Chains A and B, each alone.
Chain A
Amino acid sequence: MTDTITTNQFWAVGEEIEDTKAPKGVDIDKVWKTRQFQARLVNPANRRKLSVIIVGTGLAGGAAAATLGEAGYNVLNFCYQDSPRRAHSIAAQGGINAAKNYRNDNDSTFRLFYDTVKGGDYRARETNVYRLAEVSAKIIDHCVAQGVPFAREYGGLLDTRSFGGVQVQRTFYARGQTGQQLLIGAYQQLERQVAAGTVKMYTRHEMVELIVVDGKARGIVTRNMINGKVETWTADAVVLATGGYGNVFFLSTNAMGCNVTATWRAHRKGAYFGNPCFTQIHPTCIPVHGETQSKLTLMSESLRNDGRIWVPKKAEDCGKDPRQIPEEDRDYYLERIYPAFGNLVPHDIASRQAKKVCDEGRGVGPAVVEVDEDGTERLVRRGVYLDFSDAINRLGQKAVENKYGNLFDMYAQITGENPYEVPMRIYPAVHYTMGGLWVDYDLQSSIPGLYVTGEANFSDHGANRLGASALMQGLADGYFVLSNTINDYLADAPFDKLPEDHPAVAEARDSAQARIDKLLSIQGTRSVDSYHKELGHIMWEYCGMERTEEGLKKAIGLIQNLREDYWSNVRVTGKNEDFNQALERAGRVADFMELGELMCVDALHRRESCGGHFRAESQTPEGEALRHDDEFLYVAAWEWNGEGNVPVLHREPLNYKAIELKQRSYK
């Protein structure tokens, strides 16, 4: 570990905070039931007098909108896509976990809870994760009832498979399209409510500001992406379900439109940002092929069930056709180092080991030029093999096709190689962000009336995330948690009527408009994308898989300079009153730059390694991530402190009562 940073120019320390909503003094399996009983209710006749704004239509947002609509609230639902069916939850491939114990393999709510907390490297809030495990089984029931076509066995019952970081088979799946099927299920329920009139849907509307009145969230400002109209919408509560911010790295597995604007605008209005530096790096993505690449494609983690990961033992073999490399010259490094979990170790471990073997010069695929910190150039191959030849020999090509056919097709389409004949090449990429707006047990942020669900909040994943748990959280929050907790807030109704010309509403609208006008007025020389790519390079280099104090400090300086340059030299073509995609991206990239800096500050202050966050200064003698529970057993909740001021760090200590803290081991 490094020395304590004594003179601190990067952040200020504020008061400790705590979650006051999870009932205290009851056993973990009673916490949710107790809260459900204690939370106040709103009677059905009064619900129709109340309105809720929901931003986002993915698993968390779409499910919440449908469920609150069914309950009888007036829901206004917004998304930036042309249809709610396109939210990026749709791209999740592998599956969704649930503690059903259909396999008779000793699974239970407690075991799912235990695996998830351990997988998150003990940086998630225990009560939230237990609730997630508790409601997981109901998600499967509900989705089956909606007609989600989960994979089934010949007897007509649901099939399951296994995922990284666990030794039971609890993952429900729908070929390699689980996210799509679950999202379409939620979308259909949403459209049902649209038809019923309880949900009003606004597509191609982007939230660009939050309206806060007397300290409470009361509405949003949107830009109509077709005609540029900046409009205000008010309601009694606001829910953000806007996903993650992995696109801060430019190259990620996120959809191109995924952005941080909604949560960042809320952060600037007072919502704390929890653990921003916790980024999940996913081990099984198609490697980068060139400078003009716009995104990275994930190959489902489920492939690791049957695929074996290896690299040549000898660096001189790396350029060879893999089929010519004999068995004894192959290093199945995950099976060698982690015999108990083998190829199914969690994301962070599989990713780090892949980086390590490539750093050693044993990577495969085309060699690319990399520049070291001291400016020297070197050629590195960034890829490892994911080999199905054993599985094809054992099960036959047909069986492999049935299980993973669409993933194999996708790989062939993108790379031009046939994965049935030549092993796939994979490399880690940015996938999911565990950080997000801080919320309490009720999913309420530090702004009363502002709720945050799914990937947009920080609560359930810790420093890392196991496969098949993000879909579970999105749907748990959307269908079962928010719909029970938000009542407690809405029970304060009636709320004051908010006139259109209220100063807070006008201020929000004017500041959003001013930002747009400013971006259009700069008329500089560099495109928005070129800034985004540069920011992405800085983030990946210094705040990616491995971080150092020195690197992070350097990154903060680089980002500050880049941001300054952006606001004086960016070129945004066209005008506001039009379908203007350059302008859309310009606003998002501006927010990514501010967030990127906060991510580096957060990574800098957390002088320990945990989950996807690996501080080079903090490792075990074997090179595994080394936590420091004595110093960092807390959630870092950052408060915006005004333009030009350092952010304020509020710590929320994590209390583990049901689980004993351990060094994570998958050996």
Chain B
Amino acid sequence: MKLKLRIWRQAGPEAAGRMVEYDLDGVSEDMSFLEMLDLLNENLTERNEEPVAFDHDCREGICGMCGVVINGIAHGGSATTTCQLHMRSFSDGATIDIEPWRAGAFPVIKDLAVDRNAFDRIIAAGGFISSNTGSAPEAHSTPVPKREADRAFDNATCIGCGACVAACPNSSAMLFTAAKITHLAMLPQGQPERYRRVKSMVAQHDEEGFGNCTNIGECAAVCPKGIPLESIAQLNRDLIASLFKADGKQ
């Protein structure tokens, strides 16, 4: 396959960025999207030009580190991660636009790599169950109904890639935050801190500069792990409920 790539190049956080065109030949349809970028980078290195910086690690669709906007859609549009998008989804001779996640809360580091540490700070604000090592009761002492366990699980599959933010016109991270809140809220272990958690995580979300949710639904459409939009409804229910709970007060 032969491709025309238009890639966002930006030397650093403060530098101005621009789209740069590259022709790439010898792409096989079995390659992943990132392997295609590897090939481009090998060519650039041969020409003694600087390779394109992009984030990636596991290349198995689970670490959440990779992520670029491809032809205007986060991860390229088949609700998968960029590493699991394969070149057989493109046709020979295609022009492909490749850009970083764009959001005020995700500053560009270089080219296609952005800083997503804001997600860590949202988790640090309360996305956990306080349970010190060694203090746990026997695992079977708390049965969890399968229905709740499965719902918790469906939300726990969030990989924190940030596609939801990149896709949202408001750059909202509500789907990410809601996934964690719903995961823990469905479990008996998560109840003691439930309302305090939702309040502090949403407060941190806002402080990081993510926008609010206006029910557009782009986030769920691109989520590689299929986190449903209804998780945000769960977040909202818990957030409202927290106003009436003593432990929701801060």
Binding site for B on A (CB under 8 A): 63, 66-67, 70, 81-86, 88, 90-91, 100, 102, 138, 140-142, 144-147, 149, 151-158, 174-175, 177, 179-181, 184, 187-189, 191-192, 194-195, 201, 203, 226, 253, 255-257, 289-290, 292-295, 297-298, 410, 413-414, 416, 479-480, 483, 527, 529-530, 571, 573-574, 578-579, 581-582
Contacts and interface: CB of A to CB of B under 8 A. Distances in A.
Given A191-B120, A571-B45, A147 B152 contact: yes
A192 B109 CA distance: 26
Contacts of A298: 60
Interface stretch (B62-70, B167-175, B209-217, B236-244): B62-70
A480 B134 contact: yes
B160 interface: yes
B61 interface: yes
Contacts of A88: 57-58, 63
B139 A177 contact: no
B139 A195 contact: no
A41 to B, nearest CB: 14
Given A294-B38, A527-B45, A571-B45, A578 B12 contact: yes
B146 A289 contact: no
A290 B28 CA distance: 9
Between B63, B86, B135, B136, the greatest number of chain A beta carbons within 10 A of the residue's beta carbon is seen for B63
A294 B128 contact: no
Nearest to B63: A86
B60 A152 contact: no
Interface string B131-156: 11111111110111110010011001
A179 B110 CA distance: 30
Q: Is the interface of B mostly helix, strand, loop or mixed?
A: loop
A206 to B, nearest CB: 13
Tier of interface size on chain B: 35 or more
A154 B64 contact: no
B174 to A, nearest CB: 19
A255 B159 CA distance: 15
Contact of A144 (B139, B146, B184): B139
Contacts of B53: 579, 581
Contacts of B123: 85, 187-188, 191
A90 B63 contact: yes
A256 B57 contact: yes
Nearest to A294: B35
Given A90-B62, A527-B45, A147 B136 contact: no
A579 B210 CA distance: 25
A140 B34 CA distance: 36
A116 B105 CA distance: 47
A431 B99 CA distance: 33
Contacts of B159: 180
A70 B131 CA distance: 10
Given A66-B133, A480-B133, A292 B64 contact: no
A83 B119 contact: yes
B229 interface: no
A149 B64 contact: no
Interface string B33-55: 01100110010111011110101
Contacts of B134: 138, 142, 479-480
Contacts of A154: 146
Given A83-B120, A142-B136, A579-B53, A153 B48 contact: no
13 contacts: A81-B65, A85-B120, A86-B63, A88-B58, A90-B63, A156-B144, A203-B120, A253-B60, A292-B38, A294-B32, A414-B84, A571-B45, A579-B53
